[in-house]
């Protein structure tokens, strides 16, 4: 029943006629607004009069803390209150044309718009704009005066690079869209804005490049966003969970990033980005398994090291997934597959350990996860102490007490280090959880169980889709040419096409390095050098 | 939801019904690294039916960790059946025997001379699924349990010591390396003929030198270490070694690091088959005599000719031994004919042994190259 009424309500609010219309009487409008904003003590009402006879009444309404006060003082109040006096006092036309004069002449603000209903006015006030009521007209002027204490653009701490831009998104939506726009000076870069959240009215921006992104994809993203009907959106995680294909999957199907260059790169590939106010994380759809292993830097450093690093990352990812399970399976079920010397040293290390390998692994893995969880919440100073204490407890005391074997410590440590090399936090979480599942499977069924577990995972991944793109593409729905940017990263001059599976416009580059033919002395007499000169 | 139910049921089945039945923690296993099998002597038998004396060698894992005196232990059991002998051990140890890392399998002379016992053991080891197919097989002229009394000097674990010697055949080809799979392969292909390297134990060490000849599942004789090196040449399994040559009264050791042998059918004439072993050795002259240059082409040619003669003579004598003395083809002729000239082989297959003895004429053609002559001239 509750659902039914809610839907009815939703339909009502979308209806324009439901909104309260403003009237020509300032007092009446003001009274209505004040009634709506009762007990909102951070709202400031500034009433003032203009004219020789002080009979032209104005009221400014804005929220304290969300507005740029010097701007209101210098550009609205000063202009209207002082300059208005310099105009001939009793020009009769002034009164009639008051609204037009103010609207088009008196306020030196770039952002001005007029509205005719009080609901929008209140929303504007709460967004940080200033609302001007003028006696005698039903038009309400909204002046863009947003200005609040905001964190500056700084280096994203979760996706730091050695080479590459150090800009990261901030909590302010408008900065973020500007950061992306700066990287794409193309009129075909579209930014569709909407407000989601019945109470929060959070600004959401959907960005895509019109002729690269597939229209089906754009429509689908728009549709899914439109289905959201919730009281508030506090972070990108809300949107992610509400629009992803399979919320029950361990694997994230949407990529969250703090880096504007990453968003721009994704847009150039034909993906769609979603910017959300109040969070420095933008969402990129569709996201594939492959993309979660890529770091921003891969395309900024030279391609050979980039390829090696990427391969290493894939190997590390695999290790972080299967290492403890493999160890358990081998030591508890199949010691025959190891070299004899290694078997003997493992057996020697495990001598006297009271737990079976699977329990030992669980103890250490859980301790590690605990340490990690504790370290995340603590301030940096204490976090370091936790690391030392934890390291000592795990590495030294537990081994000496004979509770765990030193080899297991090595296994867990290598697993931990490997898991940190997966660039994406939420993706590495999936591996983290799946690791435990594999530990159990290996503990019960040995290698057979481990392989069963992996098959389960791969089966799931093959089925999974992210906004119509298979999660494992380009490995499934195979396009050989898309493999150029997977385990390896081919030189940029070889990546002449955009990913075929995603982009609509596939040609990315027509020039090629063949034109950089060198003569014997290394120069080419500047042939074609003026191509980029401004004419 | 249905899929979740199915997954939960599957997982529960896996956990409840299987219950880790073959899980044995690594420290609860007793890794048997070496097994020695002898025929039981009358005075050893506790029951008249006993036929085998089986020796085991296992590392003492805790000693490996803490550096104890004894790093491996040996123990023996006497039984009527091989598999029973293995299982009897459970009456005496608190661990699970594991043969996945067995590195050496040692047969005593008596056992090898008793066709029935040998065949039983071969079958038992061949059928068992957890024996490593790569373990090295040895024959001991004497009793295999002598080996298990050795306290090796350089390696802490006996079986590793013995298998380590076998792997030295990379540098010394008189060591014949015979992994179990290869022995089984030979036995199957030839119906009971193979060579098994001999291991001669003494108090503190063992020596792999020469091979024992098994014909029809029975030990018929031995070759010494010089002949076993030649056998490696003939079978194209030599990797490196030194040939002692002489030149004008000066000893010239020739160290080869590459030795290739190709068998070739020359002709079939009447009822005789003519075959040639083409041997090619490459290596270096290790010494000549001080203050005498080896960079003289004529001298080198001389030396090479000399070497070729030695190789040919030695090979010929070993071939003769197999043809005349043992009357068994362990030098790869049958295999060559079967693989490359199957119609010829088919014709002689039935009576191969006597055919090999008298109707196969083998030539040796050796080519030795001295590529390096050392540093100081």
Of A262, A287, A312, the position where a domain reaches its end is A287
Q: How far is A187 from chain B (nearest CA, A)?
A: 47
**Considering the domain boundaries, does residue A135 fall inside one?**
yes
Confirm or reject contact between B160 and chain A (CB < 8 A): yes
Among the partner-chain residues A335, A340, A345, the one whose CB lies closest to the CB of B29 is A335
Q: Which residues pair with B208 in a beta bridge?
A: B199
Give the CATH H-level superfamily of domain B242-372.
Answer: Nutrient germinant receptor protein C, domain 3 (3.30.300.210)
Q: How far apart are CA A432 and CA A324, in angstroms?
A: 11
**Token pair recorded at residue B93:** 């140890």
- Residue A460: inside a domain: yes
pLDDT value at residue B217: 93
Residue A522 lies in a domain: no
Note whether ipTM > 0.85 here.
no
Give the distance from CA A457 to its chain's centroid. Answer: 26
Contact B68, B177 (CB under 8 A): no
Residues of chain B found within 8 Å of residue A356, distances taken between Cβ atoms: 23, 25
* The model scores a pTM over 0.80: yes
Claim to verify: residue A431 and residue A308 sit in the same structural domain: yes
Helices B180-190 and B115-127 meet at what angle, rounded to 10? 120
| β-sheet bridge partners, residue A485 | A489
A306, A273: one domain: no
B132 to chain A: closest CA residue: A336
**Whether the predicted pLDDT of B82 surpasses 60:** yes
CB-CB neighbors (< 8 A) of A442 in chain B: none
Residue A434 contacts B, CB cutoff 8 Å: no
Residue positions counted in chain A: 535
Burial A167-206 (b: 16+ CB within 10 A, else e): bbbbbbbebbbebbeebbeeeebbeeeeebbeebbbbbbb
Cβ-proximal residues to B291 (8 Å cutoff; 6+ apart), any chain: none
Contact criterion met (CB < 8 Å) for B98 and A335: yes
Range name among A165-174, A304-313, B232-241, B286-295 with the lowest pLDDT average: B286-295
Comparing alpha-carbon positions, the chain A residue that sits nearest to B25 is A332
Containing structural domain, residue A200: 173-287
Quick check: A122 and A37 in contact, CB under 8 A?
A: yes
**How far apart, in whole angstroms, are the C-alpha atoms of residue A168 and residue A179?**
9
A350 touches chain B (CB under 8 A): yes
Residue of B nearest to A356 (CA): B25
Cα nearest neighbour of B3 on chain A:
A460
Give alpha helix (H) positions in chain B: 2-13, 61-66, 82-88, 109-113, 115-127, 158-167, 180-190, 225-234, 297-320, 333-340, 342-348, 352-358
Instruction: State whether residue A356 sits within 8 Å of chain B by CB.
Output: yes
Count structural domains, chain A: 3
Q: Which DSSP string corresponds to A21-82?
A: BP-S-HHHHHHHHHHHTTT-TTEEEEEEEESTT--EEEEEEEETTTB-HHHIIIIIIHIIII
Is position A491 within any domain? no
| Domain boundary, last residue among A101, A127, A143 | A143
pLDDT of res. A15: 54
CA-to-CA distance for B190 and A51, rounded, in angstroms?
Answer: 122
Maximum distance among all Cα pairs of chain B, rounded to whole angstroms = 92
CA–CA min distance A461, chain B (Å) = 15
Residue A388 φ then ψ, to 5°: -65, -50
Nearest residue of chain B to residue A330 (CA atoms): B26
Helix A357-377 vs helix A303-332: crossing angle, to nearest 10: 140
Residue B15 DSSP symbol: I
A249 and A367 together in one domain: no
Q: Cα dist. B185→B17, B178, B193, B194 in Å?
A: 40, 11, 10, 9
Interchain CB contact of B17 with A (< 8 Å): no
pLDDT on residue B280 = 94
Per-domain residue ranges of chain B:
24-223, 242-372
pLDDT of residue B168: 92
- A336:B100 CB<8 A: yes
Kindly state whether A136 is in contact with chain B, defined as any CB-CB distance less than 8 angstroms.
no
Which tens digits make up the pLDDT trace of B32-55? 999 999 999 888 888 888 899 999
Integer Cα distance of B352 and B355 in angstroms: 5
The confidence score (pLDDT) of residue B132 equals: 85
- Both A315 and A428 in one domain: the answer is yes
Q: Do A347 and B103 touch (CB under 8 A)?
A: no
User: Average model confidence (pLDDT) for chain B?
Assistant: 88
Q: Are residues A112 and A201 in the same domain?
A: no
**Mutation target among A351, A405, A447 for the B interface, most CBs of B within 10 A:** A351
* A157 domain residue, yes or no: no
Q: H or E stretch including A16?
A: none
Same domain, A282 and A304: no
Question: Token pair for residue A527?
Answer: 């042939």
* Helix pair A357-377, A406-420: axis angle to 10 deg: 40
Whether residues A356 and B23 touch (CB distance < 8 A) is answered with yes
A443 close to B (CB below 8 A): yes
Tell me which chain A residue has its CA closest to the CA of residue B29.
Answer: A347
Domain boundary (A224, A252, A287) is at A287
The pLDDT profile of chain A, 535 residues, written as one tens digit per residue, is: 334 444 444 555 555 567 788 888 888 999 999 998 989 999 999 888 877 677 778 899 999 999 988 888 888 888 777 766 666 555 555 666 777 777 777 777 888 888 888 888 999 999 999 999 988 888 899 998 888 888 889 999 888 889 999 999 999 999 999 999 999 999 999 999 999 999 999 999 999 999 999 999 999 999 999 999 999 999 999 999 999 999 999 999 999 999 999 999 999 999 999 999 999 999 999 999 999 999 888 999 999 999 999 999 999 999 999 999 999 999 999 998 999 889 988 998 888 889 999 999 999 999 888 888 888 888 877 877 887 887 777 678 888 888 888 899 999 999 999 999 999 999 999 999 999 999 999 998 889 889 999 999 999 999 999 998 999 988 887 778 888 888 899 988 888 888 877 788 888 887 666 666 666 777 766 666 777 776 6
Statement to judge: residues A283 and A315 lie in one domain = no
For A79-105, the three-class secondary structure string (H helix, E strand, C coil) is: HHHHHHHHCCCCCHHHHHCHHHHHHHH
Under the banding of pLDDT at 50, 70 and 90, the label for residue B14 is: low
pLDDT of B270: 83
With tokens 């690294």, the residue in question is: B33
Residue A294 domain-assigned (yes or no): no
CA distances from A85 to A60, A79, A90, A98, A105 (A): 19, 10, 10, 13, 15
């Amino acid at each position: 029943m509750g659902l039914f009424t809610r839907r009815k309500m939703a339909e009502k609010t979308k209806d324009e006629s439901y909104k309260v219309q403003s009237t020509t009487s300032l007092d009446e409008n003001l009274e209505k607004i004040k009634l709506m904003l009762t007990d909102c003590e951070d709202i400031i009402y500034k009433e003032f009069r203009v004219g020789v006879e002080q009979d032209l009444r104005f009221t400014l309404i804005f929220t304290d803390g969300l507005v740029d006060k010097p701007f209101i003082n210098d550009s609205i109040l000063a202009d209207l209150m002082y300059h208005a006096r310099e105009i001939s006092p009793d020009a009769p036309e002034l009164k009639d044309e008051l609204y037009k004069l103010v609207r088009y002449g008196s306020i030196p603000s770039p952002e001005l718009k007029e509205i005719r209903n009080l609901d929008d006015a209140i929303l504007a006030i709460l967004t940080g704009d200033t609302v001007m009521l003028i006696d005698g007209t039903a038009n309400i002027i909204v002046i863009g005066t947003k200005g609040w204490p905001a964190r500056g653009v700084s280096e994203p701490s979760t996706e730091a690079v050695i080479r590459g831009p150090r800009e990261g998104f901030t909590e302010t939506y408008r900065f973020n869209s500007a950061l992306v726009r700066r990287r794409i000076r193309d009129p075909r870069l579209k930014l569709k804005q909407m407000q989601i959240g019945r109470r929060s009215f959070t600004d959401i921006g959907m960005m895509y490049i019109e002729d690269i992104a597939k229209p089906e994809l754009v429509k689908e993203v728009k549709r899914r966003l439109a289905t959201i009907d919730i009281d508030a959106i506090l972070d990108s995680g809300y949107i992610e969970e509400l629009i992803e294909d399979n919320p029950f999957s361990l694997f994230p199907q949407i990529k969250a990033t703090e880096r504007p260059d990453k968003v721009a790169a994704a847009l150039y590939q034909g993906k769609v980005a979603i910017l959300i106010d109040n969070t420095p994380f933008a969402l990129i759809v569709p996201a594939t398994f492959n993309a979660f292993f890529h770091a921003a830097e891969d395309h900024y450093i030279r391609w050979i090291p980039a390829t090696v690093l990427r391969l290493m990352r894939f190997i590390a990812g695999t290790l972080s997934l299967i290492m403890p399970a493999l160890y358990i399976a081998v030591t508890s079920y199949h010691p025959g597959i190891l070299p004899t010397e290694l078997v003997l040293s493992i057996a020697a290390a495990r001598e006297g350990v009271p737990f079976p390998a699977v329990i030992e692994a669980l103890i250490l893995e859980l301790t590690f996860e605990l340490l990690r969880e504790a370290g995340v919440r603590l301030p940096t100073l204490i976090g370091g102490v936790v690391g030392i204490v934890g390291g000592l407890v795990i590495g030294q005391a537990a081994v000496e007490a004979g509770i765990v074997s030193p080899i297991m410590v090595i296994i867990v440590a290598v697993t931990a280090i490997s898991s940190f090399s997966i660039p994406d936090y939420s993706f590495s979480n999936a591996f983290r959880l799946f690791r435990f599942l594999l530990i159990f499977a290996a503990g019960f069924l040995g290698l057979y169980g481990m392989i069963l577990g992996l098959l389960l995972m791969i089966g799931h991944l093959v089925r999974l889709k992210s906004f119509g793109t298979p999660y494992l593409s380009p490995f499934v729905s195979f396009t050989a040419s898309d493999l150029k940017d997977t385990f390896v990263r081919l030189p940029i001059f070889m990546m002449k096409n955009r990913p075929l599976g995603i982009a609509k416009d596939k040609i990315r580059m027509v020039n090629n390095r063949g034109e950089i033919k060198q003569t014997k002395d290394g120069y080419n007499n500047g042939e074609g050098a003026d191509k980029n000169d401004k004419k | 939801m249905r899929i979740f139910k199915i997954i939960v049921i599957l997982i529960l089945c896996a956990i409840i019904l299987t219950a880790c039945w073959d899980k044995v923690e690594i420290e609860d296993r007793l890794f048997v690294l070496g097994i020695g099998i002898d025929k039981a002597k009358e005075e050893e038998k506790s029951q008249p039916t006993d036929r085998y004396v089986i020796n085991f060698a296992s590392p003492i894992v805790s000693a490996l960790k803490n550096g104890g005196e004894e790093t491996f232990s040996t123990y023996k059991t006497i039984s009527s059946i091989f598999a029973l002998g293995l299982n009897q051990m459970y009456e005496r140890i608190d661990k699970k025997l594991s043969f996945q890392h067995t590195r050496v399998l040692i047969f005593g002379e008596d056992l090898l001379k008793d066709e029935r016992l040998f065949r039983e053991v071969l079958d038992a080891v061949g059928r068992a699924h957890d024996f490593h197919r790569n373990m090295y097989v040895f024959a001991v002229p004497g009793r295999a349990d002598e080996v298990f009394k050795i306290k090796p000097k350089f390696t802490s674990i006996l079986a590793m010591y013995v298998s380590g010697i076998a792997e030295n055949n990379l540098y010394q080809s008189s060591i014949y390396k015979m992994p179990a799979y290869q022995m089984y392969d030979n036995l199957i292909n030839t119906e009971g003929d193979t060579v098994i390297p001999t291991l001669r134990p003494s108090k503190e060490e063992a020596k792999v030198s020469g091979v024992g000849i098994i014909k029809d599942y029975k030990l018929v004789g031995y070759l010494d270490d010089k002949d076993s090196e030649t056998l490696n040449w003939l079978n194209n399994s030599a990797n490196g070694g030194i040939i002692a040559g002489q030149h004008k009264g000066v000893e010239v050791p020739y160290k080869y690091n590459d030795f290739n042998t190709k068998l070739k059918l020359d002709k079939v004439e009447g009822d005789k088959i003519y075959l040639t072993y083409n041997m090619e050795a490459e290596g270096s002259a290790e010494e000549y005599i001080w203050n005498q240059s080896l960079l003289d082409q004529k001298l080198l040619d001389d030396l090479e000719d000399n070497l070729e003669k030695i190789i040919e003579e030695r090979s010929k004598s070993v071939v003769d031994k197999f043809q005349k003395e043992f009357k068994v083809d362990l030098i790869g002729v049958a295999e060559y004919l079967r693989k490359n000239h199957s119609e010829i082989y088919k014709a002689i297959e039935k009576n191969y042994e006597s055919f090999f003895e008298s109707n196969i004429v083998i030539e040796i053609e050796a080519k030795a190259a001295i590529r390096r002559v050392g540093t100081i001239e």
